Amino acid sequence: MRVAAVYYDGRSAKAHPVTLCLEDDKLLLQGKEVVRREVLTGLEIQPPLASTPWVVLFADGARCEVADSRGFAELFPGTDSRVAALENSWRWSGFALLLVLVIAGAGYVWGLPYAAQRLAERIPVELAQSLDRQVLADLDRHLLQPSRLSPERQGQINAKLGNLVLADEAGRPAGLEFRASAELGANAFTLPGGNVVVLDALIELADDDEQIVAVLLHEMGHVAGRHALRQLLQASAVGLALAWYVGDFSQVLAAAPALLLEARYSREFERDADQFAADALKANAIPPGRLADMLQKLEAARQGNYNRKFADGLDYLSSHPSSEERINRLRSQ
């Protein structure tokens, strides 16, 4: 049996009309200007895609194109076009696209958080601390002002945290950074390296030091879980991948403050931080309801006039679970 084909020698663009047939374990290619015999095991056969022809590749770079799919299948009984048929099927193409989307979605929902957690556990403390210094310096330039609290008052708050009994010492903050901010209002937030920023308005909002300690213990729950670093890694995943490829992390580091302010903790992170705070409060003979009291105060404060663009990302009450659910859970412990 012979099948018509077009042969290209790999050295020029000239097309040579030829016929193909089999001679035992060899392919015989004959044309007006070319004759070749090649062992079948030395050939590479590429199936067609859509309306493209079958392609036979030779080891020296030559190629042969066969438009007669039926004749090619008869010439090479071991080949079939099932893969090509699947590639040309809208149904199977749609299924493949759906499968890719499902895998990508699963990677985003479960794979990315898992990878961020594992990476956060392996980042050296010194590197995380240097990131904190850069993030805080940038925030100081654009968003934060020096604290108006006296050194004595700052020392009192530090001393109260230092005297707390903690089941998980990993929650000890690397340090407390006291600042003021008209834009962020009553807030405290954790930096990726474990430092906790405490804003004056939060201290002023609290009725007593137990409420301040309760909020800071919530932040210490984020420290223990390295939530801020994990959140930053998740938010900058694409940037990190690009930075790893080109070897330049400067743009990712420059974007870290904005990512930190705009990223919201997940339901799991907030629940874990609340539970850390509740357990620590009970261990120190302080009712977990003191954190609930402070959450209610923050709920009222968030209705104020400070800049929601920044504050929403850091607000304890802007992320899931809802403030009412969290308050009820804390009061029930």
Domain ranges of the chain: 3-84, 89-122, 123-331
pLDDT digits (tens, 9 = 90+) for 163-210: 999 988 888 998 999 999 988 888 899 998 899 999 999 999 999 999
> Does residue 120 surpass a pLDDT of 70?
yes
Q: Tell me the CATH number for domain 3-84.
A: 2.30.29.30
> Two tokens at 325?
């659910």
Q: Which long-range contacts (CB under 8 A, 24 or more apart) does 317-324 make?
A: 318/264, 319/264, 319/265, 319/266, 319/267, 319/270, 320/266, 320/267, 320/270, 321/267, 321/270, 321/271, 323/295, 323/296, 323/299
Q: How far is CA 66 from CA 13, 60, 76, 79, in A?
A: 17, 19, 12, 13
Burial code (b: 16+ CB inside 10 Å, e: under 16) for 66-84 equals beeeebbeebbeeeebeeb
Q: Given this model, what pLDDT does residue 263 score?
A: 55
pTM of the model: 0.62
CA distance 306 to 180: 12
Confidence of residue 80 (pLDDT cuts 50, 70, 90): low
Alpha helices in 143-266 (DSSP H): 151-162, 200-205, 209-225, 227-235, 237-246, 250-262
Integer Rg of the chain from CA: 33
Q: Given this model, what pLDDT does residue 246 score?
A: 44
Burial code (b: 16+ CB inside 10 Å, e: under 16) for 252-287 equals bbeebbebbbebbbbeebbbbbbbbbbbbbeeeebb
> Does residue 50 surpass a pLDDT of 80?
no
